[in-house]
A and B are shown apart, each in its own frame.
Chain A
Amino acid sequence: MSGSNGQGVYKPWLPFTTLLRKEVLRFWRVASQTLLTPIITASLYLFVFGATLGERISVLEGFNYAQFVIPGLILMGVINNSFANCSSSLFMSRYLGGIVDLLVTPVSPPQFILAYTLAAMLRGTLVGLVIWMISTLFADLPWTSPLLAILMALLASVLFAQFGLIAAIFAKNFDTLSMYTNFLLLPLIYLGGVFYPISILPAPWNSL
């Protein structure tokens, strides 16, 4: 044995980049669940609401229904996947005990949060990007503020990645973890104007 005692040069950012790489590899290894499934789900929504039912729904606020629903579906993909990436990865790590492998390393809390957040953002934006590419088959989007739209998607991704981390930290079991999805994400999707303009909701929901 050449000697176990003699560490190499310490690179302060390597713990962070390694954790980020690990988190990206994690969702990439199960891409059929983490990327393909949400893309197929969103494509079905596009097909049903954009191409089929959409033609029978009246034009909303100057756009056809497909044009209306596509940005919502993109953002839904971004939000759902940013949340799911953080919550499932961290919760599984806690559940199976792998988290202790990280807790004993020099990875600092800010590095930990940043790595999980960036990986979640990457997954969320990848899903959003693919949904947008598929949506071009159904409708042309009139881009008036593309940078603002991208910024909004990124900010939503950061926000829901943090919610995912919080959910994973506080969830005691799989049931409580799914409560965050059922009571936080689903109401936001169905009451947040993904499928219809919130102006048509009854009070007080239209002003929330």
Chain B
Amino acid sequence: MDKALHIENLSKSFASMPAVKNLSFDIEQGEIFGLLGPNGAGKSTTINMVSGITRIDSGSISAFGFDNRSHYRQTRRMLGVVHQEIVIDNFFTVAQALSLHAGYYGVEDDPLWRQELIDRLDLGPHLAKVMIKLSGGMKRRFMIAKALIHRPRLLILDEPTAGVDVELRHSLWDFVREINRNGTTILLTTHYLEEAEQMCDRIAIMNHGELVALEPTRELVRRLSRRTLKLWLDSPLESIPTELETYHPRLEGNGRQLILCLPTDSGVSELLHQLSSLHLGIKDFETDQSGLEDVFLQLTRSGGDS
């Protein structure tokens, strides 16, 4: 089966400043794929090259087996793009714009599908409005409806929930999950890492135009995140016992709090045994596990050395 998206050795520079460097990854059909990275990492440049807005310097992109330069009509028909910036066209109402948008993709406007999108995205009361009259959230919904009107096989969502309130964000993600269940592959970028962790099957993290991580979300979090064990002690410690060095210990609270880091995939029996033999006088304890946000910061601050 062809990959939904195949990117190979992709590079792009702007005025000799590299924005994307030798990027390669695949997206399988039917998955929700997250492309994350700090501002300026090259995510939007990559998405713009995939969707055909930005020219490719070197490398190649193919969608469902079609090269996006030599077969751009085929690939673009299969892509739906929700841009990061809100696109404004004040000449047409929501209804007119949706109808026209299907035609740009070479397919006849399907009134049933259009109505379904209108209903699911609650655009019904706003059909006669021009875009400038819509609220920020409605503009986002309208952009998603436009991107789906030709029934794309790969939906690209570039920061679709930026500046959107919590309730709308949740309803949009529910909708994205639903269309994914119906067979549409999703490529999304978001700054809400918690959402990416919940939504995405796999995550790629970019930094300075390069790929610094690409793994199934759970594995990425498990491999790179750390569990922390915080111990409240009866009496303050003056120095950390050498037996605990492997757990990267540190003391806080005038020596009354001992914090130990545990790799996520290791057991705790050895540690418990050591703590017991050290007779530290433990009053209380607390555990914490870092999530994607910590993994993200770890990867992007360290320059991608994972």
Interface contact B184-A106, CB-CB below 8 Å: no
Alpha-carbon separation in the docked complex, A96 to B104 (Å): 19
Interface hits, B42-74 → A, CB 8 Å: 51-53, 72-74
Residue of B nearest to A5 (CB): B183
Assess whether A7 is in contact with B151, with CB atoms less than 8 Å apart. Answer: yes
| Complex contact B104–A102 (CB within 8 A) | yes
Question: B85 contacts A106, CB within 8 Å?
Answer: no
Query: In the complex, which residues of chain B have a beta carbon less than 8 angstroms from the beta carbon of A12?
Result: 73, 106
Check if A187 is an interface residue, CB within 8 A of chain B: no
Question: Considering the chains assembled together, what is the distance between the CA atoms of A7 and B110 in angstroms?
Answer: 10
Q: Does B191 contact A (CB under 8 A)?
A: no
Chain A residues, Cβ within 8 Å of B184: 4-5
Q: How far is the CA of A25 from the CA of B53 in the complex (A)?
A: 25
Q: How far is the CB of A29 from chain B (nearest CB, A)?
A: 6
- CB closest residue in chain B, given A105: B104
Does A8 have its Cβ within 8 Å of any Cβ on chain B? Answer: yes
Write out, one digit per residue, whether chain A residues 11-27 have a CB within 8 A of any chain B CB (1) or not (0): 11011011101100110
Chain B 88-128 against A: per-residue CB contact (8 Å), 1 yes, 0 no? 11111000100011011111101011001000100000000
Q: In terms of DSSP, what is the predominant structure of the interface of chain A?
A: loop
| Contact of A30 with B by CB under 8 A | yes
Task: Look across to chain A and name the residue whose beta carbon is closest to the beta carbon of B96.
Answer: A25
Q: Given the complex of chains A and B, what is the CA–CA distance between A96 and B79 in angstroms?
A: 22
A100 proximal to B (CB < 8 A): yes
Q: List 26 A-B contacts (CB under 8 A).
A: A1-B178, A2-B116, A3-B182, A4-B148, A5-B182, A7-B77, A7-B105, A7-B150, A8-B151, A10-B107, A25-B91, A29-B91, A96-B89, A96-B90, A97-B83, A98-B88, A100-B83, A100-B87, A101-B83, A101-B87, A104-B51, A104-B53, A104-B76, A106-B72, A106-B76, A106-B105
B residues touching A (Cβ–Cβ < 8 Å)? Answer: 51-53, 72-74, 76-79, 81, 83, 85-92, 96, 100-101, 103-108, 110, 112-113, 116, 120, 146, 148, 150-153, 155, 178-179, 182-184
Which residues from chain A sit less than 8 Å from chain B, CB to CB? 1-12, 14-15, 17-19, 21-22, 25-26, 29-30, 93, 96-98, 100-108
